[in-house]
Structure 1
Amino acid sequence: MVQIDASKKCILVQGNFDVLHPGHIRLLSFARACGDQLVVAVNTDSAMEVKSRVNEQHRLEMVTSLECVDHAFLTSDSAQAIVEKLKPYAVVKGKEFECRDNPEQLTLDKYGGKLIFGSGEFESNAEQYIKKRSRITSNLDFSEMQEYAKRHNVEPENLESVLNQVKDLSVLVIGEVIVDEYIQGTAVGMSQEDPTIVMTPNKTEKFLGGAAITAGHIKSLGAQKVSLFSVIGNDSAGEYTKQKIVKYSVEDELFIDATRPTPLKTRYRASNKTLLRVNQVRQHKIAKELQNDILGKITKIIHKVDLLVFSDFNYGVLPQPLVEAIAQLCQKHGIKVVADSQTSSQVGDISRYHNMDLITPTERETRVALNNPDDGLVILADKLTHRAKPKNLVITLGDEGIFIHVPNHLNNSWENDKLPALNRNAVDPAGAGDCFLAASSLALCVNASPWEAFYLGSLAAACQVGSLGNTPLSINMLEQAISESFK
């Protein structure tokens, strides 16, 4: 056990740190801010109730590598015993422990020590707390992927087999189509009349987004047949959608609703930075007659579908009665179903998608669905799992990567892991989530393990963000990334 400097406020944190994820890093950085030195007690393999995938020495090394940790050591002692020996100024635990029995409280009370509960605050970037390590020269850093592959027996030949099986799939994607417009220009400077950035446009590009690009990714990644169901307006953006989707070799069922414009999002960019985004959208729900038309057409072809994807941007195309009716159809026919429900400038609720094979909310979308700003990632994932009952849950964390939660509903347990954001020089983050969902869903549909599916999804997302605009990811690029990730 370490010797601490009695003249400094010592903060103690104890845990397994089985797979070090951003939730751990946030808690530890919060703990470090509560005092002058942070000491972390890492439980030994023998002290853990559940067998660890990562041996104790490696877990200790990962914790020690964090910038915010001053000292770390392995221990088989109880929390009370460690507090008795070190007598820290405070013990820090996750917010979820606030309403539980905390046996170290009695020992702390004996000498006036504090018990502090950290929240699930998520606005800071956990990457800043990791000590700088040398990285490979390419844009993709596979160092943590290789450790993940070892933990879960992910092998390149298995991934190759998965991609081959995908070629037999028929997939239906339903949700909002979005047209993404990029106006590139040169930032001239600040207006002298008012505090406004002035730019001179010199190039305009358009891309399909939303459910359309999800369908495009799925087709490009090898699915035999992809159908897109959506609602568009009677406008130029709708015409662009009809023309562009044909080039993706996607079969479309585009229903016209004259009361709704086709969602158009215009980004004004200069020097690879977005200065302003203007959204032209309506968010009212589509009429019941239109819902019935969509359901009727899906009912006629559902027996030919292997995978159904809800790509929900919460602009009204997927009212709850329609979602439930489609989900029941899929359950009746034994079809795998996945869902993504975005909450950005609009408000959504991923928890309304029940019993999905996979849901992929962002952390903010998870907290909004649960109205929970406090809990850490593990508890958040568990609570969302109890509410929505997905077979697999992935919380996306932007430039912190992904947090994976694979629940076992039979015995109320789970297994967690994480993967980093592989592309440290992302040109355009738009489409990362769509690409992750597409690749992961296809893999799950051919009975790949969740760990294999999310490995593929992470690689696909990393490849996608390397260029401007959301365009279908080439299967060749994904295969090349797979090969390089195992070198």
Structure 2
Amino acid sequence: MHKVLVQGNFDVLHPGHIRLLKFAKECGDRLIVAVNTDSTMSVKSRVKEKHRLELVKSLECVDEAFLTTQTPSQLVSELKPYAVVKGKEFEEKYNPELEALNEYGGKLFFGSGEFEANAEQFITRSERVKSSFDYSESRDYAQRHDITMESVSECLESVKKITAVVIGEVIVDEYVQGTAVGLSQEDPTIVMTPSRTDTFLGGAAITAGHIKAIGAKSVSLISVLGNDKSALYAESKIHDYDVTPYFYRDESRPTSLKTRYRAGSKTLLRVNQVRQHKISKELQNTIIAQLEKLVDEADLVVFSDFNYGLLPNSLVERVATICKKRGIKLVADSQTSSQVGDISRYIGMDLITPTEKEVRVALNNPDDGLVILAQKLTEKSKPRNLVITLAEEGILIHKPSDDFKNWENDRLPAINKLAVDPAGAGDCFLAASALSLASGASPWLAYYLGSLASACQVSTTGNTPLSVELLRRAAKESFT
């Protein structure tokens, strides 16, 4: 039998660990995991060794797990595994267990940064709550960071003082709902019969809408629209969100329109009508002039970038300079479509919230594990806070030190296990987290609220502003 050994701290068990362990299991017949004791860790663990061991044992791919005070070389000499598996980031480093492996022909493998698989499916849970909201792991997170319902309530009260400005692309989202009637006889295409069309404001508009609905004192939205029906819809609909718009026209670019064709709860096809050329220097100057009028009252500025040309580097740098001089919180979300987009160009933000794919594209890095990815992005773009969003796997939190050389990590799983429509989850997370940070909350509390907000958002079809009462209710349930 081929035994495979993995050794580590597993301080906070995140999807990167789970992916590595799944890879390790595939390298042999029996996976053994050695969890370092509290006394052997160079940095004090937030999670006690007993609990860290229990979490590792809960994984379906793990056959055996135990606590250890031994070094990697000592363990290899004692257990003589067929292979030791480590993260890809150790491939170019000194690996002390290699000498012990070479003595009997053992192997040393390095796990890749594969991110297509859903790590949640490899977690064994003894029972699930009947509701689609599962607070079990979020409660542990709240306990680790001294988050209480009282601190959540104080934060939600504090955000009422925040004035925010959102800059970015407005997107009109259409949902064509219908019934799939089968395959076409002429070609292998699904045929659907549409029954209704629902239209929503998306992009920077919904981010602004979420910020206002969660409780901000006032929110301004700066964007560029085309000369079309979608622009007229955006201009009329934005007032429903109680957001002050500053819309400018550019006839060379249509208002971004995304149409989703859905049958039941599944999306069959999405059609994007967008242009990606940069806005003119004249429009950039107009936006800066408007921002100058707004920043004296602003506490928070949000870049909502879909990489359709509204936020070229020159404009981003000018906005950032204005805000940093005034001590205004700056956060950024830069969505990547295919290989277009680069979150790393947002330098010195107070918070960035990329997806894993967006980080890998920005760094051209398909191999490294999540934590190493996060640190490399931190070293490149110097954010004060970084959260990698992982869809149904939740979020990985990376909190760098002031010199960006050391860091803390934690994770929060997706609280809503049965998302009806994932559209808007990232927008809602960004809105709630950014507002909380601007109000003076700790990053840990900000991300807790952001995760709750996302869970509420994905429970319905369509991306509409989140009700703060729904968020309060979810927070109360999470502590009961």
- Quote the residue 1:255 is aligned against: 248
- Quote the residue 2:450 is aligned against: 457
Query: Which of 395, 402, 408 does residue 415 from structure 1 map onto?
Result: 408
Q: Which 5+ residue runs of structure 2 have no aligned equivalent?
A: none
Aligned equivalents of 1:160 and 1:411: distance in 2?
31
- Quote the residue 2:51 is aligned against: 58
The answer (yes or no) to whether the contact 2:379–2:404 under 8 Å persists in 1 is no
Aligned equivalents of 1:85 and 1:176: distance in 2?
59
> Which whole-Å deviations, capped at 9, do the CAs of 1:388-425 have from their partners, x for residues lacking one?
10000000001000000000033721000000011111
1:133: how far off? 2.4
Query: Which of 385, 388, 404 does residue 381 from structure 2 map onto?
Result: 388
Counterpart amino acid of 1:277?
R
- Quote the residue 2:134 is aligned against: 141
CA 1:430–1:357 in 2, change beyond 3 Å: closer, same or farther? same
Query: Which of 122, 125, 134 does residue 118 from structure 2 map onto?
Result: 125
> Which whole-Å deviations, capped at 9, do the CAs of 1:307-351 have from their partners, x for residues lacking one?
000000000000000000000000011100000000134610000
Counterpart amino acid of 1:358?
L
**Cα-Cα RMSD:** 0.7
Aligned equivalents of 1:349 and 1:161: distance in 2?
35
**Aligned to 1:117, what secondary structure does the other structure show?**
strand
Counterpart amino acid of 1:171?
A
User: Which runs of structure 2 are paired with 1:70-469 in the superposition (5 Å)?
Assistant: 70-345=63-338, 347-410=340-403, 412-469=405-462
CA 1:346–1:118 in 2, change beyond 3 Å: closer, same or farther? closer
1:138: how far off? 1.1
Counterpart amino acid of 2:425?
A
Query: Which of 20, 29, 32 does residue 13 from structure 2 map onto?
Result: 20
Counterpart amino acid of 1:327?
A
Identical amino acids, percent of aligned pairs: 66
Counterpart amino acid of 1:109?
N
The answer (yes or no) to whether the contact 1:264–1:279 under 8 Å persists in 2 is yes
Give TM-score, length-normalised by structure 1: 0.98
Counterpart amino acid of 2:24?
A
Aligned equivalents of 2:268 and 2:337: distance in 1?
17
Aligned equivalents of 1:409 and 1:169: distance in 2?
25
- Quote the residue 1:482 is aligned against: 475
Q: Which 5+ residue runs of structure 1 have no aligned equivalent?
A: 1-7
The answer (yes or no) to whether the contact 1:228–1:252 under 8 Å persists in 2 is yes
The answer (yes or no) to whether the contact 2:201–2:463 under 8 Å persists in 1 is yes
> Which whole-Å deviations, capped at 9, do the CAs of 1:334-375 have from their partners, x for residues lacking one?
100000000134610000001000000000000000000000
Is 2:33 the counterpart of 1:40? yes
Counterpart amino acid of 2:101?
L
The answer (yes or no) to whether the contact 2:354–2:388 under 8 Å persists in 1 is yes
> Which whole-Å deviations, capped at 9, do the CAs of 1:253-307 have from their partners, x for residues lacking one?
0000000000000000001110000000000000111111111111122111110
Is 2:74 the counterpart of 1:69? no
The answer (yes or no) to whether the contact 1:392–1:406 under 8 Å persists in 2 is yes
**Aligned to 1:167, what secondary structure does the other structure show?**
helix
Query: Which of 1, 6, 22 does residue 29 from structure 1 map onto?
Result: 22
The answer (yes or no) to whether the contact 2:155–2:436 under 8 Å persists in 1 is yes
Aligned equivalents of 2:290 and 2:338: distance in 1?
31
1:436: how far off? 0.2
The answer (yes or no) to whether the contact 2:382–2:404 under 8 Å persists in 1 is no
1:132: how far off? 3.3
Aligned equivalents of 1:147 and 1:300: distance in 2?
44
Aligned equivalents of 2:358 and 2:23: distance in 1?
23
The answer (yes or no) to whether the contact 2:128–2:134 under 8 Å persists in 1 is yes
Counterpart amino acid of 1:82?
L
* Deviates most, 165-174 or 339-348: 339-348
Give TM-score, length-normalised by structure 2: 0.99
The answer (yes or no) to whether the contact 2:378–2:404 under 8 Å persists in 1 is no
Aligned equivalents of 1:133 and 1:356: distance in 2?
41
CA 1:239–1:202 in 2, change beyond 3 Å: closer, same or farther? same
Aligned equivalents of 2:181 and 2:29: distance in 1?
46
CA 1:254–1:346 in 2, change beyond 3 Å: closer, same or farther? farther
The answer (yes or no) to whether the contact 1:310–1:340 under 8 Å persists in 2 is yes
Counterpart amino acid of 1:73?
F
Aligned equivalents of 1:147 and 1:370: distance in 2?
32
Counterpart amino acid of 1:376?
G
CA 1:346–1:247 in 2, change beyond 3 Å: closer, same or farther? farther
The answer (yes or no) to whether the contact 1:314–1:346 under 8 Å persists in 2 is no
**Aligned to 2:103, what secondary structure does the other structure show?**
helix
**Aligned to 1:99, what secondary structure does the other structure show?**
coil
**Aligned to 1:111, what secondary structure does the other structure show?**
coil
Aligned equivalents of 2:449 and 2:263: distance in 1?
32
Alignment size in residue pairs: 480
The answer (yes or no) to whether the contact 1:306–1:445 under 8 Å persists in 2 is yes
Aligned equivalents of 2:452 and 2:339: distance in 1?
28
Counterpart amino acid of 1:170?
T
Counterpart amino acid of 1:341?
S
CA 1:284–1:16 in 2, change beyond 3 Å: closer, same or farther? same
Counterpart amino acid of 2:161?
D
1:155: how far off? 1.1
Counterpart amino acid of 2:218?
K
The answer (yes or no) to whether the contact 1:92–1:115 under 8 Å persists in 2 is yes
